[in-house]
Structure 1
Amino acid sequence: MAQNILVAAGFLVYRRLQNEIQYLLLQTSYGEHHWTPPKGHTDPGESEIEAAMRETKEEAGLDPIHLTIIDSFQKVLNYEVRGKPKRVVYWLAQLKDSNTPVILSEEHTNFKWLGFKDASELLKYNDMQVLLKEAHAFIQNLGDS
């Protein structure tokens, strides 16, 4: 009998500030108050990328019009939450205007824009650190500034 898999999606949002690439991390208001990119569960009938757009708007106040979505980068994380399998899909999204304000929902208590090294240190889970490392290399290889 197949178990129901929880499906979630989000964007690893980044911006270029001077010559630095910075990543948006949100601190959860629940559990261990870990840091994470904006993400959330898919609604019935909703595609994963639609869920990523909706969740980024709900959790960080960033509408798709504020973002350049880079769907050529996709990373799927699989892990268990409370004994159930979970699949989370991440894409990259570049903030078009680095001055666009982040507006948090009640699901998060804080946000930070961090360079690669600081963001890596703040991310608690190894698979998130791998996601960040792969995304950072991908962005650097894009070669645009």
Structure 2
Amino acid sequence: MTEQIQVVVGAAIIRGGALLAAQRADPPQLRGRWELPGGKVDPGETDIDALIRECKEELGVLVKPRQRVGGDVGFPRRAQGPPAILRVWVAELIEGEPAALEHLSLRWLRAEALTEVDWLPADVPFIDDIRPHLVG
């Protein structure tokens, strides 16, 4: 029997040539590091539905996923829980102003500032894929 893989979705929310980064509050070992907002895909839920739900829960906003960037990126293996992969979409803000409902803080990063924050390892491979979307 093969182990089920947990899919996690991330939103590269872009506005005015800047990417929204979210600073983790939990768990304690990840507190203060930065990520793309998002979360786990629930059973029976599509990746897109999960992305929209997670942005509403974490940021209080409605987003429209535009296009997937990069490939599947594996998370570092955890002692408990199934193996997990991250999938990222460029998303447009449709309604609301992002608020740090589950994060320590939020920050809009322009292309030249993308490397100024301490990204979580699973998010790092997507930064170069997102950068071209911040121009123009």
Residues matched between the structures, number:
131
1:61–1:135 distance in 2 versus 1, CA, 3 Å: same
What TM-score do the two structures reach when normalised by structure 2? 0.81
Partner of 1:82: 78
The Cα of 1:73 is off from its aligned counterpart by: 3.6
Instruction: Indicate the SS of the match to 1:108.
Output: coil
Residue 108 of structure 1 pairs with residue 106 of structure 2:
no
1:6-85 map, 5 Å:
6-16=6-16, 21-30=17-26, 31=28, 32-33=30-31, 34-64=33-63, 67=64, 69-71=65-67, 73=69, 75-83=71-79, 84-85=82-83
- Looking at structure 2, the residues matched to 70 and 116 of structure 1 have their Cα atoms a distance apart, in angstroms, of 19
CA RMSD of aligned residues (A): 2.2
Identity among equivalent pairs (%): 24
The Cα of 1:49 is off from its aligned counterpart by: 0.9
Contact 2:6–2:85 at 8 Å: present in 1 too? Answer: yes
The Cα of 1:74 is off from its aligned counterpart by: 5.1
* Divergent runs of 4+, >6 A: none
Stretches of structure 2 lacking an aligned partner (at least 5 in a row): none
- Looking at structure 1, the residues matched to 10 and 47 of structure 2 have their Cα atoms a distance apart, in angstroms, of 8
